[in-house]
A and B are shown apart, each in its own frame.
Chain A
Amino acid sequence: MSRYKQLLFGGAMLLLMLAGISLIYGAQTLSINTVLHTLWQGGEQDFIVNDYRLPRILIAILVGTGLAVSGVLTQGIIRNPLASPDLMGISGGAGLAACTVLLVWPNIGSVWLPVVALFGGFSAALIIWLLSRWQQPSPARLALVGIAMSAFLSSCINFLLVIHPIEVNSAMIWLTGSLWGRNWSYIWPLLPWLLTLVPFSFYLAWRLDLFALGEETAQALGVDTQRLQIMALLSAVALASVSVAVCGTIGFVGLLAPHLARLLVGSRHQLVLPIAALVGALLVLSADTLARNLAPPLELPAGVLTAILGAPYFIFLLHRYKGW
């Protein structure tokens, strides 16, 4: 087996193990036998295992994949190691839109929330695009613009929360990125987006490899770079937005997963994408499992845990980055 296949296999096994742990541990710890039995035949733990923990695990995997693939596309197309949907304010835009709608219209339902988040994500992306057209930004400057955007958007969200004190609690939990209370009804609206956009990003993968040689070289090799940039960015924004719609802003996954994947398998997008997706799924699932088990029955938001890992790494990247 090649090293790459070993990595894929190892990652998948790790994910499966983690899923098992996540099914077993929680506010109420179950035995392995109970879990296996309940998975096949239901029974008295049916609610905890099949309606509570299982959908949550699947959502963690889907969202982790979505954020990671979105990060790979963003970094590939902006050729900026600091780029990722959350640092560029795209997640913030999606979060603000979703939060506004949640506060004004709490019963919107899980089907429409992704659509609202998409609208917010695309608006934020549009603003960043306009800003970068107005002034050709260096990678570092683009990251700064994104961070400023994120800060602005989160202050908007805070403002909303302050003027709607009653709904604050649930919105707050959602905003820091939590999978609390996510059941099957959240999976179905998420699935079609991922099932179309993830394969599509594989379709873009080798074009992104050519894009990595520089825009001019890619054009010389027959790539319509403008179309590629638009398609990849639209997919990245959509993936990040629908993920935010389900779990709020789980930060740094879109930054960390692609970096880790490139460290493991090099720069070819076809190889990076599956590994990054695995890493993203592992990150979100382990963050959520920890979040549920650190102080049961209380739950920490998973986003807090990914930030504990992600923020130092971001600082490390800033430190290593020489292109100021």
Chain B
Amino acid sequence: MLTIENLTIGYAGVVILDGLNITIPQGKITALIGPNGCGKSTLLKTISGSLKPTKGKVSLAGQDLSKLSHKTKAQLLSILPQSPITPEGISVRQLVSCGRNPYLSHWGGLSQQDRDEVQAALIETGLCDLADRAVDSLSGGQRQRVWIAMVLAQDTDYILLDEPTTYLDLTYQVELMEMMQKMNRRGKTLVVVLHDLNQACRYCDHLIVMKKGAIIAQDEPHKVFNSQLLKEVFSLNATIMMDPIANKPMCIPL
């Protein structure tokens, strides 16, 4: 179980996250939602360890994550940043193989098991036919699938995704959400930053609602998602209805 205790972080005297206490339920998909600049990405980066908290700690199964080595941590928890850089000319297979890094010895070199894991990730994401193509020649949706495949190859129990659907067509957004559900059914715990509230309700089991660096609510969608919350957090007048297909709450702005 991933727990966050009294987490405080700020740069240059400005507090961005203020004393957060969060429990990420194991084996579920958790969505982080909130208006722009509320600290969602900062929270994700602090969980992954790329930002150091001023106070508080993040622990996984009772173990303080900041005490672990970079490599050990990368075997437990992976994060896909918002805009990773695609090096010119790198092939799909090469990029996906990067996910195996936490398991390699000092001099690198993939073992047979590493290669199998990479192949499995390629199959899982339907990229086998594109394996030898250059990533920068693919479409945005395919490219995002390559990054997801890299995270899959990393084979961690916890996966953090920072706005994975941004800049994607709706078709690819849905495809990505379904891929997340598939990963979840294999026992992965996911934490995603999402902008689309209806997608968050439909595809995620747990919502964490943030505003100005504080947690406003954290629970299952049908328990927290209501018009009061939308008014409070997003200053949005909306009505809540049940989505007739998935039977999850959805909002319609008024």
Contact = CB atoms under 8 A, between A and B. Distances in A.
Interface of A: 79, 203, 206, 209-210, 212-217, 219-224, 262, 266-268
A219 B48 contact: yes
The 3 closest A-B pairs by CB, nearest first: A222-B74, A222-B102, A216-B81
Kindly name the residue among A214, A221, A268 whose own CB sees the greatest number of chain B CB atoms within 10 A: A221
B49 A213 contact: no
B61 interface: no
Interface in B52-98: 70-75, 78-81, 83-90, 94-95, 98
B49 A219 contact: yes
A203 B95 CA distance: 19
B39 interface: no
A68 B5 CA distance: 48
Nearest to A262: B88
A163 B83 CA distance: 54
A220 to B, nearest CB: 4
8 contacts: A203-B107, A209-B87, A212-B87, A215-B50, A216-B48, A217-B84, A223-B70, A266-B90
A222 B73 contact: yes
A266 B91 CA distance: 10
Given A216-B50, A216-B79, A266-B89, A223 B84 contact: no
B13 interface: no
B50 A267 contact: no
Contacts of B80: 217, 220
B188 to A, nearest CB: 15
A210 B89 contact: no
A220 B78 contact: yes
Contacts of B50: 215-216, 219-220
Contacts of A266: 88-90
Given A221-B74, A222-B75, A216 B90 contact: no
Chain B, interface size: which category?
A: 20 to 34
Contact of A267 (B48, B79, B84, B88): B88
Contact of A214 (B45, B78, B84, B154): B84
Given A210-B101, A213-B98, A216-B79, A222 B71 contact: yes
A174 B84 CA distance: 44
A174 to B, nearest CB: 38
A263 to B, nearest CB: 10
A9 to B, nearest CB: 22
Given A206-B108, A210-B98, A268-B90, A220 B75 contact: no
Contact of A221 (B49, B83, B89, B101): B101
Nearest to B102: A222
Contacts of B106: 203
B162 to A, nearest CB: 9
Contacts of A267: 87-90
A206 B48 CA distance: 22
